[in-house]
Structure 1
Amino acid sequence: MKKALLLVLTSILFFSCGKTDSVVPSVPVNFRITKTDPRVQALTAAGGAVTISGVGVAGIIIYRRFDGAYIAYDRCSSYQPEKLCAVNLDDNGLTVTDPCSGSKFSLDDGSPVKAPASKYLRSYLVNTTQFEIFVSN
């Protein structure tokens, strides 16, 4: 019985030590900005997006969806996140592109829309008041 248990535990350890998938690191985010700040002027209209440096892993993107809700993502691409490649806003205002791999992501939900990426962008919580936008995790 002890040998069987030892064999099972050894097998579990052996198979669980395989390569793990890379993920965008989790870092503390606690960002606040007033809606009248010129850096977020694009958010006054639905479909507007802005990038903010110095927050998150590679900066953040705040996007105002067409239903009026705000959503925020880390700019660090989910494809090979160890490279810390920051996605850039596309001219269409609906997607962002990883300049290192060519992957594209939807701003509506952070989903990958062009390979090689297969994972969503890291999203953050967004709370708003009449005057401010809060981004946190």
Structure 2
Amino acid sequence: MRQLTLILLVAISCFSCGKATDNVPSIPVNYQAALGTPALSPLNVAGGTVVINGYGVAGLIIYRKINGTYAAYDRCSSYQPEKKCACTPDGTGFTVTDPCSGSKFSLEDGTPVKAPATKALRSYRVSVTQFEIQVTN
């Protein structure tokens, strides 16, 4: 019985290990800007999306959720992140698309809504004061 348990534990541990490259790399992010800047004006309304280049792996997507809170994601697709494909906002205002694979992700929570992606976009913390927005990890 102990041998069977040991064999099962070894088999489970071997098959449960994933590749380290399956995830979007964690790169320090510290973006902040005044909410009144013209570049951030789309965030004045629910469903507004802004793309910020130069941060994270492939840039940032900042989204104002329907409930008025904000979400921020790395633009790097979670599907084959080693390709560093930068997701782009769709015309709908609710999803972004990976141009390399065709995967789509929800801007409300970053989860994939169209295959082949199975993992959510890397998300970041968003802090908002009366005059400024800050995105960090």
TM-score, normalised to structure 1's length?
0.87
Distance 1:123 1:19 in 2: 20
| Equivalent position of 2:90 in the other structure | 90
Kindly provide the CA deviation profile for residues 66-96 of structure 1, in whole angstroms up to 9, marking residues without a partner as x: 1100110000000000000000000010000
Paired amino acid for 1:15: C
Paired amino acid for 1:25: P
Deviation (angstroms), 1:15: 2.4
| Equivalent position of 1:126 in the other structure | 126
| Equivalent position of 2:14 in the other structure | 15
Structure 1's 90 and 15: CA in aligned 2 closer, same or farther, altered over 3 A? same
Distance 1:17 1:35 in 2: 44
Secondary structure in 1 aligned to 2:109? coil
Q: Are residue 44 (structure 1) and residue 44 (structure 2) matched?
A: yes
Distance 2:91 2:16 in 1: 43
Q: Which runs of 5+ in 1 are unaligned?
A: none
Alignment of 1:64-75 (within 5 A): 64-75=64-75
Deviation (angstroms), 1:18: 5.7
TM-score, normalised to structure 2's length?
0.87
Q: Which 4+ residue blocks in structure 1 deviate beyond 4 angstroms?
A: 16-19
Q: Are residue 99 (structure 1) and residue 99 (structure 2) matched?
A: yes
Structure 1's 20 and 129: CA in aligned 2 closer, same or farther, altered over 3 A? same
Distance 1:96 1:15 in 2: 35
Kindly provide the CA deviation profile for residues 15-38 of structure 1, in whole angstroms up to 9, marking residues without a partner as x: 279651610000000110100111
Paired amino acid for 2:109: D
Structure 1's 33 and 19: CA in aligned 2 closer, same or farther, altered over 3 A? same
Q: Which runs of 5+ in 2 are unaligned?
A: none
Distance 1:47 1:111 in 2: 16
Distance 1:31 1:117 in 2: 27
Secondary structure in 2 aligned to 1:133? strand
Distance 1:109 1:16 in 2: 29
Distance 1:91 1:18 in 2: 38
| Equivalent position of 1:117 in the other structure | 117
Name which one, 1 or 2, has greater alpha-carbon Rg: 1
Secondary structure in 2 aligned to 1:50? strand
The CA RMSD measured in Å over matched residues stands at: 1.9
